[in-house]
């Protein structure tokens, strides 16, 4: 099940846990028979490779698992290490001189 990337259009093969992202999808059995049982659900694991994980996410809709474009990450979180402290310094120097 975790042999390749969950993206059908991608053929990256699963090798290392630290690469990409593992999605734990809980599937509920929709049949009435499944509902009567206590364990009417199953957990499946899906893996997206490093490059697909950046743009896709794995969702489960009505028992069907598929990949979907990821909602955009807030800009503030993406540009965390690109903070420019010298902007403040320049302003300070300009105001002082």
Q: Which residues bind to Zn ion, rule: CB under 5 A?
A: 5, 7, 10, 12, 49, 52
3-state secondary structure of 82: helix
Question: Least distance from C-beta 14 to Zn ion, angstroms?
Answer: 10
Kindly provide the residue ranges of all beta strands, DSSP E only, lying in 1-97, ordered along the sequence. 21-28, 41-48, 56-61, 64-69
As measured in angstroms, the least distance from the Cβ of 91 to Zn ion is 44
Indicate the residue among 49 and 58 with the shorter CB distance to Zn ion.
49
Nearest to 59 by CA among 8, 25, 14, 20: 25
CB closer to Zn ion out of 10 and 65: 10
């Amino acid at each position: 099940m975790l042999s390749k990337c969950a993206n059908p259009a991608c053929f990256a093969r699963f090798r290392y846990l630290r690469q990409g992202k593992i999605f734990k999808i809980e599937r509920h059995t929709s049949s009435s028979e499944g509902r009567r049982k206590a364990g009417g659900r199953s957990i499946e694991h899906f893996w997206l490779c490093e490059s697909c994980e950046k743009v896709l996410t794995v969702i489960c809709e009505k028992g069907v698992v598929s990949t979907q474009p990821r909602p955009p990450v807030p800009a503030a979180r993406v540009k965390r290490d690109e903070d420019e402290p010298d902007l403040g310094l320049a302003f300070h120097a300009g105001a002082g001189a």
